[in-house]
C-alpha cells in the first residue's frame, strides 16, 4: 500500500515537473520571439535613419525668405538636423553653374533632401514642419486653422514679399535713388491688410504662433528699414512685431541678417 502510494506520488511529481518544463519552453520561445521582433523593428528604423541624409539648406541670411526658414528651423529646434550651405548673394554665388543646375531661378533658399529639391521658402517651411514637427507644431492639424496658415503664407508670397522686394532691390541696385510715395504706398497697403488680420487674432493666422508668422516678420523687419511701422496707423501690427522680437531665437535667426542687409544698404546709398 505504501509502495503504491509512493509510486503514484512519484508519477504526480514528474507530471507537474514536465508541465512546468513545457511552460518554461513556451515562455522562452515567446521571449526570444519578442526580442528578435523588437531588434528587427528598431534596426529597421536605424537603417532608415542611416540611409536618409540630412536636409541641406542653401542660404544667405540677407534674404527675407531665407530668414523665414531659419526662424522655422530655430522654432522647431532642428538646427543640428539641417545642414547649412552659404551662398553669398552679393558675391553672385547664386549664379554659379552648379547652383543654377540646382535652382534655375538662381535664388535662395533651396532645400535639398535626398532626391527632393524645394526652391520656395513657404514650401520648405511646411515640409520641415511635416517631417520634424510634432502634434502639428507651428503648422496646426485642424483643417480650418491650417488653411488660414496657408492663406497667410500665400499673402506673404504674393503680396508682402513682392512689394518689399521691389523697394529693397530697387534701392540696392540703385534703380530707386529716392523713395517716393508711389514706392511706399503698395507696402503700406500690405500693412493695412496685415492690420486687419491681426485685429482678429494675436498672431497672423490665429491666437497662437504658427509658421505663417515667420516669413511675414522676416519681410516686415526688412522693408521696415525704409517704411517704418506707425503705431498710430497700425497698432496691432506694431504690437505683434514687438512680440515676435521677444522670441528667444529671433535675434540670431532674423536680426543678424537684417543688420547685414542694412549695412549693405547704407554703403550703397552713400555712393
Residue 209 sits in a domain whose CATH number is 1.20.1050.10
For residue 228, being part of any structural domain is answered with: yes
pTM of the model: 0.81
For residue 233, being part of any structural domain is answered with: yes
For residue 204, say whether it is annotated as part of any ligand binding site. no
For residue 11, being part of any structural domain is answered with: no
For residue 210, being part of any structural domain is answered with: yes
For residue 63, say whether it is annotated as part of any ligand binding site. yes
For residue 27, being part of any structural domain is answered with: no
For residue 97, being part of any structural domain is answered with: yes
The b-or-e profile of 30-49 (16+ CB within 10 A means b, else e) is eeeeeeeeeeeeeeeeeeee
For residue 147, being part of any structural domain is answered with: yes
For residue 221, say whether it is annotated as part of any ligand binding site. no
For residue 108, say whether it is annotated as part of any ligand binding site. yes
CB 106 within 8 A of CB 63: no
Number of structural domains found in the chain? 1
Torsion of CA 81, 84, 111, 149, to 10 degrees: 70
For residue 230, say whether it is annotated as part of any ligand binding site. no
Per-residue tens of pLDDT for the chain, all 271 residues:
433 444 344 443 444 444 444 556 666 666 666 665 565 455 444 444 445 699 999 999 999 999 999 999 999 999 999 999 999 999 999 999 999 999 999 999 999 999 999 999 999 999 999 999 987 678 888 899 999 999 999 999 999 999 999 999 999 999 999 999 999 999 999 999 999 999 999 999 999 999 999 999 999 999 999 999 999 999 999 999 999 999 999 999 999 999 999 999 999 988 7
Which residues, 6+ apart, have CB-to-CB distance to 227 below 8 Å?
A: 167, 184, 187, 188, 191
For residue 15, being part of any structural domain is answered with: no
Which pLDDT score, from 0 to 100, does residue 17 have?
A: 46
Which pLDDT score, from 0 to 100, does residue 5 have?
A: 42
Which pLDDT score, from 0 to 100, does residue 47 have?
A: 43
Which pLDDT score, from 0 to 100, does residue 25 have?
A: 65
For residue 100, say whether it is annotated as part of any ligand binding site. no
Q: How far apart are CA 62 and CA 77, in angstroms?
A: 21
Which pLDDT score, from 0 to 100, does residue 171 have?
A: 96
**Structural domain of residue 176, as residue ranges?**
56-270
For residue 121, say whether it is annotated as part of any ligand binding site. yes
Which residues, 6+ apart, have CB-to-CB distance to 65 below 8 Å?
A: 108, 109, 121, 161, 215, 218
Which pLDDT score, from 0 to 100, does residue 26 have?
A: 60
Amino acid at each position: 500500500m505504501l509502495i503504491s502510494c509512493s509510486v503514484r506520488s512519484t508519477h504526480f511529481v514528474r507530471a507537474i515537473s514536465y508541465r512546468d518544463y513545457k511552460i518554461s519552453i513556451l515562455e522562452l520561445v515567446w521571449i526570444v520571439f519578442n526580442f528578435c521582433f523588437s531588434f528587427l523593428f528598431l534596426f529597421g528604423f536605424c537603417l532608415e535613419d542611416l540611409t536618409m541624409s540630412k536636409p541641406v539648406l542653401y542660404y544667405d541670411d540677407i534674404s527675407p525668405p531665407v530668414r523665414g526658414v531659419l526662424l522655422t528651423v530655430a522654432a522647431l529646434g532642428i538646427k543640428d538636423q539641417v545642414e547649412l550651405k552659404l551662398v553669398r548673394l552679393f558675391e553672385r554665388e547664386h549664379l554659379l553653374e552648379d547652383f543654377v543646375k540646382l535652382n534655375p531661378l538662381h535664388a535662395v533658399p533651396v532645400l535639398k533632401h535626398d532626391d527632393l529639391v524645394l526652391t520656395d521658402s513657404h514650401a520648405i517651411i511646411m515640409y520641415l514642419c511635416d517631417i520634424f514637427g510634432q502634434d502639428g507644431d507651428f503648422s496646426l492639424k485642424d483643417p480650418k486653422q491650417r488653411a488660414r496658415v496657408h492663406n497667410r503664407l500665400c499673402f506673404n508670397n504674393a503680396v508682402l514679399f513682392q512689394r518689399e522686394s521691389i523697394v529693397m532691390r530697387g534701392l540696392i541696385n540703385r534703380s530707386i535713388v529716392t523713395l517716393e510715395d508711389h514706392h511706399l504706398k503698395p507696402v503700406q497697403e500690405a500693412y493695412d491688410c496685415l492690420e486687419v488680420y491681426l485685429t482678429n487674432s494675436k498672431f497672423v493666422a490665429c491666437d497662437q504662433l504658427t509658421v505663417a508668422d515667420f516669413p511675414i516678420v522676416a519681410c516686415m523687419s526688412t522693408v521696415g528699414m525704409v517704411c517704418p511701422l506707425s503705431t498710430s496707423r497700425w497698432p496691432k501690427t506694431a504690437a505683434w512685431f514687438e512680440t515676435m522680437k521677444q522670441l528667444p531665437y529671433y535675434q540670431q535667426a532674423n536680426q543678424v541678417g537684417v543688420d547685414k542687409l542694412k549695412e549693405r544698404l547704407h554703403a550703397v546709398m552713400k555712393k
